[in-house]
Structure 1
Amino acid sequence: MSPVTFLAVVLCTVILFPKLTYAGELAGISKTCQSRSTGTTSLCSHLIEPSGYPCSEHSTKTKDGYLLGLQRVSSSIGKLRGAKGPPVLLLHGLFMDFWDWSWQELALFDLAEMIRYVNAITNSKVFVVGHSQGTIMSLAAFTQPEIVKMVAAAALLCPISYLDHITTPFVRDMVFMHLDGIMVDLGFHQLNFKSDFGTRMMDMMCDSNVDCGDLLASITGKNCCFNSSRVEYYLDNEPHPSSAKNLQHLFQMIRKGTFAKYDYGLIKNLKIYGQLKAPNFDLSHIPASLPIWMGYGGNDALADMKDVQRTIKELQSNPDMLYLENYGHIDFLLSIYAKRDVYDNMISFFRSYGNHGSASS
């Protein structure tokens, strides 16, 4: 039986770095101002329907007043046999986000509302699939009882809650240069690699010790099975701009070795959080009853094995693990062997939980 998926892709978030989608019927998300997205092209008409998949547009509002546009994607016509599967929310990573928020708001407002909306529409708990920054958001959200009670199970590709062992030269150089602070001081609200500033920054990075002949590997680590002939197609749609605040939040994680809320500084922390330090997200608050599957690779320079192991140790549960020694960060999404190596295993994990009942039971 093909699972139907409510694919929720939030167009205004960022990729480390990928973000959100929801399956069982796939849903894709975009935000409008009050929207965090500036795009006007429908995901359904632009990318999904031309590939032969039925798609419908949905919208909902977050608690902080932003509109989320969701795309509900079903199995292609003629391929769905038997009953529909449960809803699955897919979360992408970095470089699809704007303005004054970070992954903290994306987790506690956006993801929370997407899960609530999907649950309300389907009357079913949600399977969550996240990659990279999508796993940061998921793990943070799952520490909140009112959110996790609507989740049936989660599959986390390249799981991240800690970043202090990343080995990517490109990101390490940006952290060392305090690029995030420079952008804020200069009044930039977003990082857009296709802008004049982004282009100059890339030129500067490539003139240092970063091998821009293999820029993808410099950012993510060596990918074994990525189809390089598709790069131009991907670059037609990526990377989207990212919020400067989101970039700064990620760099705080790298510098401090913490999985915590955004650090505003002592005085503003006291005003916002009621304490001098930004509060940590406590992974031990994720219920042991939540089934979790994780896939990670030996060549991933972003989701380093040491950081993944630290995440696992702080969880109450023992997640199902898939380790692929030759896989890098992008392989888990775009490897030509991903179905055989990753997705079949992940789908078997979800199928083992079968019907999962209503979202709040």
Structure 2
Amino acid sequence: MRHPELLIPAGSLEVLKIAVIYGADAVYIGGEAFGLRAKAKNFSREEMREGIDFAHARGVKVYVTANILAHNSDLAGAKQYFEELKEVGPDALIISDPGIFAIAREVLPEMEIHISTQANNTNYGTYLFWHGLGAKRVVSARELSLQEIREIRDHIPEDLEIETFVHGAMCISYSGRCLLSNYLTGRDANQGACTHPCRWKYALMEETRPGEYMPVIENDRGTFIFNSKDLCMIEHLPDLLDAGVDSLKVEGRMKTALYAATVARTYRKALDDLAESREKYQENLEWYKQEIGKCTFREFTTGFFYGKPGTEAQIYGNSTYVKNYTFLGIAEQTDESGRLLLMQRNKFSVGERIELMKPDGRNLEVTVHSITDLDGNSQESAPHARQMVWVDLGAEAERFDILRREE
């Protein structure tokens, strides 16, 4: 059995650190240019250096996205950007555009290059093409079945790695190459500025009756005709490993630290159990499913892995997430009395029962005994967004523990 890498997204330095602590083998991030998540916080050069140092000190790799579909005006800047990355030292670049690939090979000849899913990698001929140019890894198109991935593995060299999305949002367009955002808003999804119009509610208007909007309804279920469910393969990891996948990729560079921690910890536990035995993995399936449901999601599907999805892979009634837990904060440090310091992310109050989420898999139910501001003043609640407060939970707390509340 293969022992795959667990690859977690990080849209900020805080999320990178949480992903590392909660079980990632590797983290992928975007710089301030050339990535496909322009609305993410992304990383300055200094933050990228700090994040890479933090990850490397704990044996975790960091990959940097440069996977836009480039225009002429992007090429000169790409060369300068890659020159800057020499000093920062990521473990690999994620690229989709052949022109950007060529520049990266010229500027960073020793750097690993991974071919993004944006390059529409749907057959072993494509994998062999990129391998011949020096790529170390190819990210499979999301439209591939497990049978197709297994066939690719059978036709490519063992040292060419297959990376596959296993969890997160599904794009309505082929391998994420979408023109809808650009057409409707002028913001190009292929340049990192997607406005996600696939999640919008649509109506129908007949040409000769302008202003008369008719709802688009399928069997009275709703009007969100492009709104796909989220991918989740936590119950099917043996099939992915048997197909020859080397890296299990989670989508979500726009997501919170709570999301990164929840997904990373759950998949880490599942992979470790599976490495020990398939029986142990099967015994703990209910725990994995319960835990993965504690982060925000839009119902789950297995995507294309077991055949082309039908109408059951869409959500017609609304575009909202299922949200079972609220993120309250991350323990940034503790004092001699056992209190923890955190930045408030959502309101909580003295006397509330909340959950302390730990990297080792434990969830401790605790009570908020006291809240104190940095000047030593007691508070009955923490209502001010991003306020730094000391919190006494009457329980063992450590740096990077996460506070969350069940809704």
| Range into which the TM-score falls when normalised by the shorter chain | under 0.3
- Bigger fraction of residues in strand: 2
Higher gyration radius (CA): 2
TM-score after normalising by structure 2? 0.25
Q: Which has the higher contact order (CA 8 A, sep 6+)?
A: 1
TM-score, normalising length: structure 1: 0.27
Specify which structure has the higher proportion of helix.
Answer: 1
